[in-house]
Amino acid sequence: MFLADYHVHSSCSFDASDRMAAMAKAELKAGVSEICFTDHADIGDSQTMQIGPERFQLPRSQVRQFIEAMEKAPEGIDIKLGLELGEGNHDPARAKRIYAMPEYDFILGSLHNLRGEQDFYFIKYQSEEHCHELYDRYMDELIELAGVGCFDCMAHIGYCLRYMRKQGFDARLGMDRYGAKIDLLLRALIENGKGIELNVADLVPGGREDALLLPVPGVDILRRYRELGGDIITVGSDAHNVKAAGCGLREGYELLAGIGFKYVAVYKRHKPEFKRIEL
């Protein structure tokens, strides 16, 4: 069974602990044939790798680790270099220049925080109403991000759910309440030739502490994307250490097949190639 993990972090990310070479070895051991390193570069967050606004060059840490990984990685795994570019809609010109850098094969577009707000990870949620207020703004900014040509696939739609639910709020980003905005977002992605990510970090135990045992985005959004004609989708473990490398990928592929997806996407120089899902 071909497995590709297109959301992998190394110690180039402030919140990850293992080098690319070690992550590649762990992914291969988990049965993964292709990986893409997507370390954090959140615009305006000094904890993450910062590219631009004046110099648009690969961060030295990425260069060193990627070369090391290519030299040390065992045979049987294909390694690509990417980026998880956060908040591209907060500085579209800069984000587009990062996307145009020739060294990257693939870029995830993510939204970890709203304008003027902390990362959803740090917010203290006060009520269901507070959650929905933030959801509404989150959807507006995702739609805005979808119009910026700075990524290949949109990462973990519904990212904020992880932290709202862990604080005890059963807020849901679903078609029943947010269908109009979800449709607007998905149609914009499809029309612009962009895909979405199935993030499986919370799908099975082991991928993340206190895993919610849910896919991100939820099944209803995945189904809607398929109904609207969306066919570009990557699967990512969002692994931040060797223990989580490749965790949940098989289950993610099975979930996609059950919804009707026949292929997953892998990338080379921002061009998707499609690999059949074979269970």
Q: What is the pLDDT of residue 264?
A: 98
pLDDT digits (tens, 9 = 90+) for 117-145: 999 999 999 999 999 999 999 999 999 99
The whole-model pTM stands at 0.96
Q: Tell me whether the omega of the peptide bond preceding residue 59 falls within 30 degrees of 0, making it cis.
A: no
- Over range 175-189, report the average pLDDT: 93
Residue 98: name the closest of 139, 52, 37 by CA: 52
- Distance, CA of 7 to CA of 239 (rounded, Å): 7
pLDDT digits (tens, 9 = 90+) for 135-175: 999 999 999 999 999 999 999 999 998 899 989 997 766 78
Q: How many CA atoms lie within 13 A of 10 on its CB side?
A: 29
- pLDDT beyond 90 at 206: no
- Over range 70-93, report the average pLDDT: 95
Q: Which fold has domain 4-276?
A: TIM Barrel (3.20.20)
Q: What is the dihedral of CA 78, 156, 249, 104, to 10 degrees?
A: 0
Q: What is the pLDDT of residue 10?
A: 98
- Over range 96-108, report the average pLDDT: 98
pLDDT digits (tens, 9 = 90+) for 253-264: 999 999 999 999
